[in-house]
Structure 1
Amino acid sequence: MAKIVRLDPLGQETSVTTNDHVLSALLKNELTVLQECGGRGMCATCHIFITEGMEQLSPISRREQRTLGAITTSTITSRLACQCRVLGNGVVVEVPAGMYLGDMNEIESLVGRRADENILHPLDGRILVEKGKLITRSMISQLEVTRSDVVTHLAHSKLV
């Protein structure tokens, strides 16, 4: 049976099948979610806040707790969309402001322009480029190192 999930601040409601991940609701609404770790709960690219209905979601796993513990913007309402399953109605999801580092070509095309929104680190959620700040070539090299850190982290996580 379908459950209704509300996405804020978008003000959209969407239905998901019972026991589907919140990530399904985000993707269904064509929101860009990187899923850097492939939905295994090891990166922060699907970090969300649950403003209502936390009890309508599956419990937090140890892996999700570890990942949330490393995210600098994590709060008691934080979850990873790829890890929490919708069990009942009344879940309200707040998508964090900002975008996570995606394709390097995408970032390179923005050099010389101001960031439309914060660009966030995919492992810990910290802000790499603040909204309104100029994106420079030196920022590109910092982002490339970050991308390498993510690959290393995920490779190490597969071994654990």
Structure 2
Amino acid sequence: MQAISSYSSTSYPNDRYHSSCIVKADGKTPLVAIADLADSGDIEAWKKSLAANGDLGSASDRKEFPAGDKGKGISSSRTAAIYLKCTPAGSKLTIPLNLSITVSGISKAPSTRADIAQVALAFARYAQNSAHCTSPAALPAAPPSQLQG
């Protein structure tokens, strides 16, 4: 098995941030992780945007989970997304910003839901640090048991 990974991170002073990680094995792409600093609005607007884009599959497959004290996570059998409020150090913007993290493509098996959420939480921790969020959320070490199986 040949494994290839690609990573990029772009941090702009104050108000823009993007990071992505693509992992390929045997010519397939089993994992894609993306974090963006955005002005998605509140959590409900963010969830509607994800649903409209088809980013999380069917509504019946989605499960929500807490992402620390300031965020929200949603997972399906193939994708997990996390919303976190983020004000980068030195930002002069008056609109509220958030980090939007998505991880997708591991497997179609429902048993991987917690694994996908675990990767999303790890990438969210990295993104909060890299985007220089002034009050980062205290993210859990692992996804809640409701996502198992």
Class of the TM-score when normalised by the shorter of the 2 chains: under 0.3
Larger strand fraction of residues: 2
Structure number, greater radius of gyration: 1
Q: TM-score, normalised by structure 2?
A: 0.26
